[in-house]
A = this chain, B = another copy of it.
Amino acid sequence: MSLPSTSRLLLGPGPSPVSPRVLEALSAPQRSHLDPELVVLLDDIRARLQRVFRASPDSETLAISGTGSSGLEAVVANLTEPGRRALVIVTGYFGDRLAGVLTRYGATVDRLEGEWGRAIDPARVEQALTAKTYDLVGLVHAETSTGVCNPVPEIARLVRAHDALLIVDAVTSLGALPLEVEAWGIDACFSCSQKGLGAPSGLAPVVFSPRALARKVSCRSFYLDLDLLLDYWVRRKYHHTISAPLIYALAEALAEVEDEGLEARWARHRRVHETFVDAVAGLGLALLPPPAERLWSLNTVRVPAGADDAAVRRTLLEQDNIEIGAGLGPLAGQVFRIGLMGTGATTENVSRLVEALGRALNVSRA
């Protein structure tokens, strides 16, 4: 058994590369979950997450001790009980997952199905909301399976007009592209540590708006119970033994985000994405979503005719030490998923990747 000893360029759908500063933070001296030197970091993370989410000062923000999927489940577990009616917009794998978790927690779920590779049309959401009354609407901001950005602000206005709560999956958008929890009117939002924020995985930032807090249910989960989590994060009452190295890394990553400036970070992701799109066009490759619907953080590139998807990814990994992702679900074998996120979003990485991708495609076709 041996641990990895050399660096690898992580350009898949996440985790994104971790900066030396964040990597070093992981091995800072351990403290317990109630140590005075640890709990000050909880305050720091709460304040910084509120700013990165652009959430209201009256919202509650913290990080769940689990991956982004635990953040999804925490939001659902605190807002859903049997009898709640939910509309979930499903335009990819993660919309489907959100619908599935809502169903597990007893919601009556209607799925508004959209095309994989396209954003949802807000007019269809309006129709659905007019036809029937819902307590909750679930929407994926950045659909990581298709590379598509859904129009959250437009949909949030509709949801508010119909007095439902809006749950948004921001796993692949937080820290990478514009997300405005308060201004847009998002009620509950969850993300992860290992994409736009640039920390390792293992913590899931979540935010609940005052409206969401007023409509909390009695949570069936103990581990994800928001009241018990706030008892710990705010009132220092033991609930679980939070992971010190993950807290150190997230605190450091959030400090890096603020050192760069959130809007500058969004602009960098956009610039790098545009550079990437131009560069792959030079290889004759096309992206799945139309230009106006593309994420800046995660690009789905169509596998060209005649190329062997798995062989290309293997060549990149073994010859060039670069990881990219495979298609999920119905897009398996159809697309490469290429993340340019967090500290990985640089034009140097674009050049290195596109050169290597060109070589790998030639080998695959040969």
Integer count of this chain's copies in the complex: 2
| Whole-angstrom CA separation of A99 from B349 in the bound complex | 52
The answer to whether A4 touches B37, judged by C-beta atoms less than 8 angstroms apart, is yes
**Residue A73 contacts which of B35, B104, B200, B222 (CB distance < 8 angstroms)?**
B222
The answer to whether B200 touches A30, judged by C-beta atoms less than 8 angstroms apart, is yes
**Residue A27 contacts which of B23, B33, B223 (CB distance < 8 angstroms)?**
B23
Q: Mark A1-36, 1 if CB is under 8 A from B, else 0.
A: 101111110101011011000011111111111011
**Residue A200 contacts which of B37, B72, B220, B243 (CB distance < 8 angstroms)?**
B243
The answer to whether B1 touches A240, judged by C-beta atoms less than 8 angstroms apart, is no
A6 contacts which chain B residues (CB < 8 A)? 29
A246 in contact with B30 given A3-B25, A41-B1 (CB within 8 Å): no
A29 in contact with B14 given A68-B240, A238-B328 (CB within 8 Å): no
Q: Mark A242-269, 1 if CB is under 8 A from B, else 0.
A: 1111101101100100000000000000
Please list 26 pairs of residues, one from A and one from B, whose beta carbons are closer than 8 Å in the complex, sorted by A's number: A1-B40, A1-B255, A3-B25, A3-B28, A4-B30, A7-B29, A8-B29, A8-B30, A15-B244, A26-B245, A36-B317, A65-B66, A65-B67, A65-B202, A66-B240, A67-B241, A69-B241, A70-B240, A73-B222, A101-B222, A105-B220, A194-B241, A200-B245, A201-B241, A238-B328, A243-B246
| Whole-angstrom CA separation of A291 from B115 in the bound complex | 67
The answer to whether B1 touches A29, judged by C-beta atoms less than 8 angstroms apart, is no
**A residues in contact (CB < 8 Å) with B:** 1, 3-8, 10, 12, 14-15, 17-18, 23-33, 35-38, 40-41, 44, 65-70, 72-73, 97, 100-101, 104-105, 192, 194, 200-202, 220-223, 238-246, 248-249, 251-252, 255, 317, 323, 328
